[in-house]
Amino acid sequence: MGMNEARKPGRWWLVLSFVYWSSATVALLLFWDLFPKQARAAEQDSAAFRTLAGKHLELVTDLPPAAETDELPAVFDAAVPLWAAYFGLPREQWQSFRPRAFLIKDAKRFRQAGLMPDDLPPFPTGFQRNGRIWLYEQPAAYYQRHLLLHEGVHAFCEQLLGHSGPPWYAEGIAEFLALHRWVDGKLQIGINPLAPEEVPFWGRIKLIRQAQQSGQLLSLADVMRFGPDAHRQVEPYAWSWAAVFFFENHPDYRDTFGFSRQLLAQGAEDFSAQLRQRYGSNWEQVELNWFVFVRELEFGYDVARAALRFEPPRAQEEKTPVVTLRADQGWLVTSIPIEKGETVRLTAEGRYQLAERPAIWWCEPPGVTLHYYRGKPLGVLLAAIVPDDRPTTMTDPIQVGRRLEWAPGQTGRLCLKINDSPALLADNAGTIRVRVEKSPGAISPKDRGMHP
């Protein structure tokens, strides 16, 4: 401000009061102009949202009408009684369960309308809190339903059971009970997906196969140790689903896994430790089964047929034990001990069926060399060792064929299997007999290698 103006305060007051009154006028004019605009915008926004009401869901969305969007409440209504049956809840406890879900195309619009609180953490696909579910629009109808059901299971557990369990269980059970088939208005949950096309964008099996290929398989104990932040990455969802799927489908472990529902209802602090204790001294076998399951996971993996069979101990050590192996089962863990430094000669005979249709497909121990499964001839006899010093793992399989001299270089138990997809064991039949001879020391050079 200059000296000249300072000596003339009267003129300044005039200027200031002019500015004041003209601003007020502008503000007033603006207000009159803006008010109806805001009201119009709010009206437009509420017109942009559609509310789809189901018995067990209120879905608010800014997506335009489409069959796959508009049927979501029906999908949810079909899921709730199935979840209730799984958790054993009587009807009166769940009949008024009705979360509110927001299916979002334009998040800004939901924020402006106050439907996405500022304190929501950032989430890539879906989020659930206190019976409110937020979901972003997904590129495939399957995955959109899956995501709604996944968050729905969280809401169901929190609201009706009062607990979600440890992170691996909370996410694993949500994935397990969300994985579904929706055909002609009928819903099936907890399915075994047969092909990636059945569950577009789900991707969990692919992630575990990538871990197989990079040698980063997790034990069940590793999965059960996931912390509260683990599921910010996508891989822990795959492992958590696999754990629940494994327990729910394994013929020897399914019943004991039912205890997890009691632990959930109790809100057990030491959920995982208690569940593990229920398996008692079998835990080592559980981990070994799991190891093979994740190592060999496929779409359609037949957990019951591929389950490890443990040969009962032999009455006395035989000089040349003979093992009978079924073609429609997975690995047989024999009771034949192998010592480090020993040479094992395996001789196999038998004829078995690898497929039923279009015609019975016969196979012998060398396998079908025109067809390969995981880099080895289909149907060929395989061998591996469960090492004594790492009893929850199995060495990579080697190809036996009709005859093999082999120095495993490990102390442990001999395992045998026919090379076929664990998803395709149902149409196999027949047996194979394997004679096992052991001799101390190295293999003679003339016998080294494989004899088809």
Footprint of Zn ion (CB under 5 A):
171, 174
Q: Which is nearer to Zn ion, 14 or 234 (CB)?
A: 234
What is the rounded distance in angstroms from the CA atom of residue 425 to the CA atom of residue 103? 41
Nearer to Zn ion, 171 or 248 (CB): 171
Residue 63: alpha-carbon gap to chain centroid: 28
Q: Is 388 helix (H, G, I), strand (E, B) or coil?
A: coil
Q: How near is the Cβ of 171 to Zn ion at its closest, in Å?
A: 5
Give the CA distances from residue 392 to residues 285, 287, 323, 341, in Å, rounded to whole numbers and listed in that order.
7, 5, 22, 22
Q: Please, what is the minimum distance in Å from the beta carbon of residue 152 to Zn ion?
A: 10
Q: Residue 368's beta-bridge partner residues?
A: 378
β-strands 58-61, 100-104 pairing: parallel
CB 435 within 8 A of CB 354: no
Q: What is the DSSP letter of 42?
A: H
- In whole angstroms, the minimum distance from the beta carbon of 157 to Zn ion comes to 10
Please report how close the Cβ of residue 311 comes to Zn ion at its closest, in angstroms.
41
Q: How far is the CB of 236 from Zn ion (least distance, A)?
A: 10
Q: Is 308 helix (H, G, I), strand (E, B) or coil?
A: coil
Residue 52 or 135 with smaller CB distance to Zn ion? 135
Could you give the angle at which helices 271-278 and 167-178 cross, rounded to 10 degrees?
Answer: 70
> C-beta of 229: minimal distance to Zn ion in Å?
13
Q: Give least dist CB 146 to Zn ion, A.
A: 11
Torsion of CA 53, 59, 65, 66, to 10 degrees: -100
Please identify, using beta-carbon distances, which residue of 151 and 328 lies nearer to Zn ion: 151
Q: Which is nearer to Zn ion, 171 or 328 (CB)?
A: 171
The alpha carbons of the chain give a radius of gyration, in whole angstroms, of 32
User: Which residue, 94 or 169, is less far from Zn ion as judged by CB?
Assistant: 169
> Please, which residue, 155 or 380, has the CB nearer to Zn ion?
155
Name which of 171 and 296 has its Cβ closer to Zn ion. Answer: 171
HSE (side-chain half, CA atoms, 13 Å) at 247: 25
Residues composing the chain? 452
C-alpha 144/C-alpha 167 separation (Å) is 22
CB of 126 to Zn ion, least distance (A): 7
* 3-class secondary-structure state, position 313: coil
Instruction: Output phi, psi for 43, to 5 deg.
Output: -65, -45
CA distance 103 to 60: 6
